[in-house]
Amino acid sequence: MRHLNFPKAQPPYNPEEWAGVNPRYSHLLEVPTTAPIELRAQQAGARRWHYLDNLPVLVEQGLEPIGTILCVHGNPTWSYLWRTVLDAGVNERAPWRVVAVDQIDMGYSERTHLDLEGERRSLTDRIADLGDFTKALGLDETDKPVVTLAHDWGGLVSFGWALEHREILSGVMLTNTAVYHDGIENIPAALRLALGVHEWGTHDSTAFIDVTLGLAQNEGRLPAPGSAGAGALDGALPQPVGPQPKRLYPSQLNEAIYRTYRAPYAHSAWREGVRNFVGDIPTGADIPSYTPMQRIAEQIRDLDVPAFFQWGTKDPVFQRRYLFDLMERMPQAKVHRYEKASHLVIEDYDIATPMMSWLAQTFGTLEDGVLVPARNAEAEHRAARARRHGLTTGESTAAEGITTGGAEGTVPAAFRPMLAALTERANDASTAVVDMDPKGDGTSVSVTLTWAELNQQVNAAATRLHALGVRPGDRVNLMVPPGARLTTLIYACMKLGAVIVVADTGLGIPGLTRALKGANPSFLVGIPAALSAARTLLWPGVRISVEPLGSVQEKLLGVAGSVFTAPAADGTPGAPVPTPTVVEFPSPVPDADAAVLYTSGSTGPAKGVVYTQRQLAGMRDAIANTYGFAPGSGLVAGFAPFALLGPALGATSVTPTMDVTRPKTLTASALASAAAAIDATVVFASPAALVNVVATADELNAEQRAALAKVQTVLSAGAPIPVPLLEALSALVPNASLHTPYGMTEGLPVTDVSFEMIRQAIAEGTPNAAGEVLDPFARDGVCVGFAVYGAAVAIAPLLQDGSVADELTHEPGVTGEILVSAPHVKDRYDTLWVTEEQSISTPGWHHTGDVGHLDASGRLWVEGRLAHVLLTSQGVLTPVAAEQSAESLPEVRRAALVAVGPAGTAAPVLVIEASANTAALEARQSASGLKRALLDRVPGANRFPIAEGVAPFELSQLVRQKVAEDTGVELAAVLVVHEHPTDIRHNSKIDRPALGEWASKVLAGA
């Protein structure tokens, strides 16, 4: 390292003070300059650069780098931004040299103080600067891969350099940045503000710097204890000791990290680069950088190199529109969105580890010092899945540790499109779709479409959508209530080869907005409320109304047109708007995207799950073959996403009157009336909906009870269903087989179990009269049965640190993560590359994030979520067994097991919803039958008058004793809440992390 004495107008230089940086990374280099502005100024022939470089540490450890990562920061950061990448590059398996520059006038590189009035260092100059630096460093002569990595305005600079160094460029990595602005659309408000207070905000004060650092969403990336730059053993990080101006904006960053970022900009004389960067923002043609920006933006389309983008979507500056623009220019890019990260995504999340994973997959790894070719995890996964599902289902595959379903047949090799049944029944006059009247009590029919009418409307609606601009591959967000209109629109999109986006309003406005901006649909078809929200919340997509709104409202909402005509005078819904154009509909492409379905968001921000035409067809086939759907079946879809499958199954479908965002609003009367309307044979509803159906059963009349008696199958999924609820439901549908399939948005169904099988499994796991247990593993979880037609299940054993093993097993009683494989499992997560890589880390399998085990018969038992596994002083615990034990008490309506304390020594704490009866403790013996057990689980029924917090002593002792007897788990405490926080879609999935935080505060006396 060369220590040079900077002039007084340069920031003081001491790498030992930089928090989390190995001082050995820091270097200074004098570089001859060819920047046009330098040639005009004639003030210096060379400039001193500061840069971070991990090469000395690689050499010391005897590691030969696979290639070089060239990191370029933006404004107002410096090379310190990339410190975690420098550390990540030093590893035996995939060593990479990481060179992170401080651009001229920035960080600890030289302050030029050019004497050129009215001129500033521009994009062209900075590209030349970077070229001068890499030449002086000798990087231009390398014969190894060079990958650029950039953030903020460093993106344009790095791309400009890349275009001039195509011969050595091997890849591109980006975090929040932009390469193009059209000069017409407004730049983000944050940049408009910065330009509005340009001199004061960027030069005279630290306002611009402080606001940027204030965008961090947490304390930043702290170094590992004991690592270089981590400071003393007391945990204190080194930090710049010189005076700094008072901060003008709050920040969540660790104080040492904050001061390190700020140090080279503490004096106004050191902030000229910050000011000049902002002044050079290419907002329009009058800015010198605008023309080179346009050239770069167009030319990167020809950069045929691998690319990886990681993006913080909360960034108020480099918003999603800039990400989507980059994705359009570089469609080969792998993308991961961090929904809770902002501008400083590299501080908000560990993005260095995914970078190294992407580099390993793209450029290979070292084994015994020899470069092993790159491994494409996605290609391996797809190939393995194709091989597996080309096998006869039910074939012995024990060597792979799986159990499979569908022993009577094979997974169909031929692709049968989702539209096949509708096309085949194009002249059928029997009923296809029925709508219940949402007005009144929901017992009357408002719309009936025959198969012929539905086919005609689908074709007409597809033609109309085509006229409005929808083309194959376009994403179309459908914000229409379940019913005939939504069914028509879904199949019209399929007819066109468009991709439907389904993000239900149950996500809530913030979650829905996040989902829609993430999916970036080209079109939004919606009812007036949805269109109004789209305009207010800036949801993407050309707005199309379902029906005409009138010229004033259409102009106000920016509507391009409507799909259907206005209703007739008698209220009959209008038909699709006539379109004279004849459209030749494309043939379905099996592996083309068909839908983006969003998860419930119960385990974090809702994820977009992409299905292809083949995978949607696989879901249809799995359901049809598992539950015996045939033409003439009648489906009551009490769970909105299931409604889209009705026509594909050849079944008559109806959605009962209910608020689809609140499953608990489904009443027994509404369900029975819907069943009567189509002579239903199958009902699908969420557990929360069925709770209210049972609770309102007294309202049924004889005709409605008769309709329910015709139901042959009831399906319910989304959360565990208590046995008392299934027993009560059986009384309402006495001739139906009750099924509780297991699955997820990524694949449904995966396994299936009937109520009869649940009873049998419980009996096998319970001591009989002789004290014998037929199956000791038929317990400690929720039994979800065997894999369905075409599916396979495996277990990745749980390790003592809460992670899972690489090897798969089907050995009974081994708890681990549940892995599934099926033709109808998702294609991928949408622009969530890191999440997708984790989910397919075992080729051919999807990691569900659930934990469970197989019993001796091969039935799957779900024990909870992997994220909810407790690392306690008693060992590794899964939550469901203890929760089920507590819930068997009439005093407990619902329970959630959470951990309080550090991992490894955490204490298990049970948070319960107490039952309603104030005399519950005395009435246990006399009122513990079916009715009481069921009523205890009806939300809102006669709340138990116990304050939230630590449970009363008697109740606590009762619960602790019961759990210990049943599971061996010694509870540290029992707490009471009025109601568990749950997801909106199912009203059933408990937010255990939130409960855990609350429990910690309660027990700490907060």
For 595, the 3-state DSSP assignment is strand
Least confident segment among 229-243, 456-470, 985-999: 229-243
For 435, the 3-state DSSP assignment is strand
Asked whether the predicted pLDDT for residue 402 surpasses 60, the reply is no
Average confidence (pLDDT) over 870-895:
93
Which fold is adopted by the domain 15-362?
Rossmann fold (3.40.50)
Give ∠ CA 86-229-269 in degrees, rounded to 5.
85
In 3D space, the residue among 421, 500, 485 whose CA is nearest the CA of residue 655 turns out to be 485
Residue type, 329: R
pLDDT above 90 coverage of the chain, percent: 76
Question: Which residues neighbour 702 within 8 Å (Cβ) at sequence distance 6 or greater?
Answer: none
Instruction: Count the neighbouring beta carbons within 10 Å of the beta carbon of residue 903.
Output: 12
Q: What is the pLDDT of residue 695?
A: 95
Express each pLDDT in 779-817 by its tens digit.
999 999 999 989 999 999 999 999 999 999 999 999 999
DSSP 140: G
Average confidence (pLDDT) over 854-869:
96
For 394, the 3-state DSSP assignment is coil
Q: Which residues face 373 on adjacent strands?
A: none
Is residue 874 classed exposed, middle or buried when 0-12, 13-18 and 19+ CB atoms within 10 A define those classes? middle
DSSP 384: H
Question: Which residues neighbour 844 within 8 Å (Cβ) at sequence distance 6 or greater?
Answer: 381, 383, 384, 385, 387, 388, 821
Asked whether the predicted pLDDT for residue 931 surpasses 60, the reply is no
If residue 282 lies in a helix (H) or strand (E), which one and from where to where? none
In 3D space, the residue among 640, 605, 5 whose CA is nearest the CA of residue 314 turns out to be 605
Q: What is the pLDDT of residue 401?
A: 38
What is the pLDDT confidence band of residue 409, given thresholds at 50, 70 and 90? very low
Least confident segment among 84-93, 428-437, 704-713, 944-953: 944-953
Which fold is adopted by the domain 376-414+747-866?
Luciferase; domain 3 (2.30.38)
Q: What is the pLDDT of residue 935?
A: 42
Average confidence (pLDDT) over 602-617:
91
The CATH classification of domain 869-1006, taken from the options 3.40.50.1000, 3.90.180.10, 3.40.50.1100, 3.30.300.30:
3.30.300.30
In 3D space, the residue among 434, 453, 465 whose CA is nearest the CA of residue 577 turns out to be 465
Distances in Å between the Cα of 58 and the Cα atoms of 66, 95, 133, 353, 366 are 11, 8, 21, 18, 14
Q: Domain residue spans in the chain?
A: 15-362, 376-414+747-866, 420-612, 869-1006
Q: What are residue 45's phi and psi, to 5 degrees?
A: -95, -10
What is the pLDDT confidence band of residue 983, given thresholds at 50, 70 and 90? low
Average confidence (pLDDT) over 311-337:
97
Q: What is the pLDDT of residue 3?
A: 37
Angle formed by the axes of helices 451-467 and 484-496, nearest 10°: 60
Q: What is the pLDDT of residue 240?
A: 87
Q: What is the pLDDT of residue 326?
A: 98
d(CA 55, CA 25): 8
Asked whether the predicted pLDDT for residue 643 surpasses 80, the reply is no
Express each pLDDT in 883-913 by its tens digit.
999 999 999 988 999 999 998 999 999 999 9
Kindly report the three-state secondary structure assignment for every residue of 184-224: CCCCCHHHHHHHHCHHHHHHHCCHHHHHHHCCCCCCCCCCC
DSSP string, 501-544: EE--GGGHHHHHHHHHHHH--SEEEE-HHHHHHHHHHT--SEEE
Express each pLDDT in 529-586 by its tens digit.
999 999 999 999 999 999 999 999 999 999 999 999 999 988 889 999 999 888 999 9
Asked whether the predicted pLDDT for residue 919 surpasses 50, the reply is no
Average confidence (pLDDT) over 116-123:
91
Q: What is the pLDDT of residue 225?
A: 81
In 3D space, the residue among 611, 594, 600 whose CA is nearest the CA of residue 639 turns out to be 600
Domain 420-612: which CATH class?
A: alpha beta
Distances in Å between the Cα of 271 and the Cα atoms of 109, 205, 370, 400, 423 are 12, 9, 46, 61, 68
58 Rama sector, left if φ>0, alpha if ψ -120 to 50, beta otherwise: alpha
Express each pLDDT in 716-754 by its tens digit.
988 888 888 999 999 999 999 999 999 999 999 999 999
Average confidence (pLDDT) over 667-672:
96
Is 869-1006 in the same CATH topology as 15-362?
no
If residue 892 lies in a helix (H) or strand (E), which one and from where to where? strand 892-900
Residues in the chain: 1006
Q: What is the pLDDT of residue 932?
A: 43
Across the chain, what does the average pLDDT equal?
90
Rg of the chain over all Cα atoms, to the nearest angstrom: 31
Asked whether the predicted pLDDT for residue 879 surpasses 60, the reply is yes
Question: Which residues neighbour 771 within 8 Å (Cβ) at sequence distance 6 or greater?
Answer: none
Q: What is the pLDDT of residue 722?
A: 85
Asked whether the predicted pLDDT for residue 588 surpasses 80, the reply is yes
Q: How far apart are the first and last CA of the chain?
A: 51
Q: What is the pLDDT of residue 9?
A: 77
Average confidence (pLDDT) over 347-363:
97
- For the four alpha carbons of 472, 473, 475 and 480, in that order, the dihedral sign comes to positive
Q: What is the pLDDT of residue 641?
A: 67
d(CA 743, CA 726): 19
d(CA 394, CA 603): 33
What is the pLDDT confidence band of residue 985, given thresholds at 50, 70 and 90? low
Q: What is the pLDDT of residue 408?
A: 35
Q: What is the pLDDT of residue 1006?
A: 64
